[in-house]
Structure 1
Amino acid sequence: MDRTGFAVVGAQNFAAEYISRIRSLRDEGARLTGVVISERKAEAERARELRADGFRIYDSYEELLRTGHGQVDVICLPVSIPAHADLSVAGMAHGYDVLLEKPPAPTVGELDAIRRTSDRTGNFCSIGFQHLHAPSIRRLKRTLLDGTLGELESIACKGCWPRSDAYYDRNPWAGKLVHEGDIVLDGPVNNAFAHFLQNMLFLAGDRIHGTASLAEITAERYRANPEIQAADIACVHATTECEVDLGLYVTHASAERRDPHILVTGTDGTAEWHYDGTTTIQTHDGQRAEFDNEGVDLGKAVFRATARYQQGVSDELYCTPDNTRAFVVAVDGSFESSGSIVPLPDEAVHTETADDGAVHHVADGIEDLLNEAFTRRALLSEIGLPWAESRPGVDVTEYTRFTPFA
């Protein structure tokens, strides 16, 4: 069996998940051939463990680029958002294929640099939007393309994932819009809920691997946690060039966890997709279908698909810079629309302290407010909240440059 050699940049946090997933797929065509550990003192024990297991440890990314050929086919980049473009471009320019963690890049200019490098070098860049590898999402896409729901009208998603201060303390760029001069654009839209914005764009696309092109975006961002730069509440409305309406209603400032839920509406029926992959199709003439992710581990599916493509077993990647460009346009356009983040007034926020001491800033009643916005397909400024502020829409039909901080 051919095996694709993967090298991972980093060994802690999410990089550790990458290492574990690759090692688990040894019998399915993937092998771990190296790990970059640049903080040798801080990660000395981890380096010893990996070396003892037979894996090469690189002292730097530059060393991997210089000396990895012959062992490394794909470089995995579970790195900070601001580093995505530079490291991807460098990897492909040195002759490696790349598996890049989502989001692909904070700005459309950086994403386009990745696309150009891939085109110029012939090396691929696979993007780690794992839900695009989900059997449920791909079957739902086929259902939409075959016309079961008629003409597509709208897709909307809501979700509440509480995050304490510890979430924002996990690395230097978490909760930041800009870090050390680099654009980050962290927040629920561009990080934790990014998968579901990408899902909606994918489902709205008119080709099996394609995403929808966007025409206009309007967004509002709010902040309950005064310790962060980024928003922790966001609503995004977008219209595709085919006049499909998209709506995203998400927060990290809720008291309760409510997993993402996507509702697809067509002229002949609806589809409901849930975070666990459970999907229900209901047509107006009484047809009903249910399906799920068939037990597939989505995290591993990303590596499996990348290895199969690298080996020539599969002829198309599920997730690439080309079919994630609309996602980056959506994020950038939403920031241009929302402008300055609106801080919630003190009377609309309270704090909760967990047993482990973690502090969580909660926007009062935000779960129900976002549910109302989702149900009405309204922005928060449109449902009568005294602290909400409306924002103008942005035309993104020929969007090539992110400019809100200019």
Structure 2
Amino acid sequence: MKQMVRVLLLGVCGYGSNYIKEISERDTPGVRIEGICEVVPNVADLYPIIREQNIPIYKSPEEFYREHQADLAVVSTPIHLHYQQIVTCLQNGSNVLTEKPVCTSVQGARKLEELERQTGKFISVGYQLNYSRDVLALKQDILSGKFGKPVSMKALHAMRRGDKYYARNGWAGRIAVNNCAVNDSPFNNACAHQFQIMTFLLGDRMDRAMELARVEAEPYKANRHVENFDAIAIHAETVNRVPVWYFTAHALQEKKLGPVAEYRFEKGTVYFGRDYGSGPKAEYVYEGDDGTVTDYGKIAKGERLQKFYDAIQAVRTGSRPVCTVQCAIPHLEAVEQIARIPIVQVPEPWMQDLHEEDDTFHTIKDLQKTFTWCYTHQEMPSSVGFLDEK
């Protein structure tokens, strides 16, 4: 078993800061940062560990591999850079933990799967819910047939985001960057997890997600300063004919909506975010039609960055983490199909700009009410008069 795991961090000034902080602040044993790839100037001034351990900084993985090797590369760079950087890391003998999405196309994901087979290395995708121990226990019970066959899945999750959010980099809210698809949206980024986890839970193995047969969607845009949509309703169907509903947005007047979810099975329902009298319970709870109740909130979820520790363990043991490239493909399928659907620009009477804390939020009136109703009744917004003349 490999004891010391050499890690290459690609991108440490965005979400990737979590990894360098985890390693330095928790003094993670048996892990050494072999190098960092970052284009932000003076990155060494941001984290004391870089100077303390004399960690070399490079602008690209190609530069790093000319001088070093790494057992694990952690990719936390912009979406449109993932594919080529993952290819480079695999071809240079590194396993990969990449933030979602794994890349920008289903075709690219299939190629990465083939490259995994050719190199004998793994790609672990950072949908963190897939690594949470309560979720894995829930999936094991689903696979065992404890709840019977799945009947339908639905979820609702929205988070308000304003101009500052979209101005934080050059790809937020973009459809493409340098002729490379990005399709950044609440569905593909901040609120991607609640859709992806439904396909993961429906997968026929612990390390697989259920792929999609069709996708219908209504994408809406309130923020005229961004390219892509900022609110969407989705009705998909998996290849084993399970309907999947999802509602998400950034163009929300309220700061947050959900997450809530209901997964119906033949013998009962799994809830997330259900109110049992003292406010929404942010845990999975199964309620059987026979009165049985299983509270998955009683299961310890694991580390905050469990995906990182699972990748480290997989390097040491020669195993593979549970969230594979295939687990990311159904979400990518939905993103690609939605990208072909025309975006509806929200009419002015339905829009309201909110100014709070030096930020501006471009919101859709009554969106919470509409999405909540559609979630409850499994309807699309257009069927209930959404955006009709006020």
2:328 to 301, 321, 324: 324
Counterpart in 2 of 1:139? Answer: 137
Shift of 1:26: 4.2
Aligned to 1:391: none
Moved more, 43-52 or 119-128: 43-52
Kindly indicate whether the alpha-carbon contact (under 8 Å) linking 1:345 and 1:387 is maintained by their aligned counterparts in 2. Answer: no
Q: Among the aligned pairs, what percent are the same residue?
A: 25
CA distance in 1, matches of 2:3, 2:34: 14
* RMSD of aligned Cα (Å): 2.1
In structure 1, stretches of 5+ residues that fail to align are 389-406
Question: Of the candidates 115, 118, 132, which is equivalent to residue 117 of structure 1?
Answer: 115
The one-character-per-residue Cα deviations of 1:263-300 (angstroms, maximum 9, x if unpaired) are 10012110112498511110111111112274545541
Is 2:36 aligned against 1:35?
yes
Other-structure match for 1:393: none
**CA distance change for structure 1 residues 62 and 13 in 2, over 3 Å: closer, same or farther?**
same
| 1:351–1:97 distance in 2 versus 1, CA, 3 Å | same
Cα separation, 2, equivalents of 1:184 and 1:20: 27
What do residues 325-377 of structure 1 show as CA deviations (whole Å, max 9, x unaligned)?
A: 222112212323xx22111001101011113x100111111111111111111
2:277 alignment partner in structure 1: none
> What code does the residue aligned with 2:296 have?
F
Q: What's the counterpart of residue 394 of structure 1?
A: none
Alpha-carbon separation, structure 2, partners of 1:178 and 1:360:
23
- Aligned length, in residue pairs: 381
- 3-state DSSP of counterpart to 1:292: helix
Q: Quick check: 1:219–1:335 contact (8 Å CA) kept in 2?
A: no
Counterpart residue number, 2:344 = 342
The 3 A distance-change label for structure 1 pair 333 and 299 is farther
> Is contact 2:134-2:300 (8 Å) kept?
no
In structure 2, do the counterparts of structure 1 residues 328 and 59 end up closer, same or farther at CA, with 3 Å as the change threshold? closer
User: Aligned in 2, Cα 1:85/1:317: closer, same or farther, shift over 3 Å?
Assistant: same
Aligned in 2, Cα 1:327/1:53: closer, same or farther, shift over 3 Å?
A: same
1:147-187 Cα shifts (integer Å, max 9, x gaps): 23222111111012000110100100001011222110000
Distance in 2, Cα, partners of 1:68 & 1:25: 25
1:121-169 alpha-carbon deviations (Å, 9 max, x no partner): 1111111111101122112112222223222111111012000110100
Matched, 1:305 2:310: yes
Q: Structure 1 residue 210: deviation in Å? A: 1.6
* Greater shift in the superposed pair: 28-37 or 219-228: 28-37
* Residue identity matched to 1:66: R
Does structure 2 conserve the Cα–Cα contact (< 8 Å) formed by 1:269 and 1:283?
yes
Match of 2:16 in 1: 15
Contact 2:160 2:252 (C-alpha < 8 Å) held by counterparts? yes
For residues 81-125 of structure 1, what are the alpha-carbon distances to aligned partners after superposition, in whole Å with 9 as ceiling and x for unaligned?
111111101110111111111011121122122112111111111
Separation in structure 1 between the aligned mates of residue 240 and residue 378 of structure 2, nearest angstrom: 18
Q: Paired residue for 1:207, among 196, 205, 208?
A: 205
Gaps of 5+ in 2: 274-279
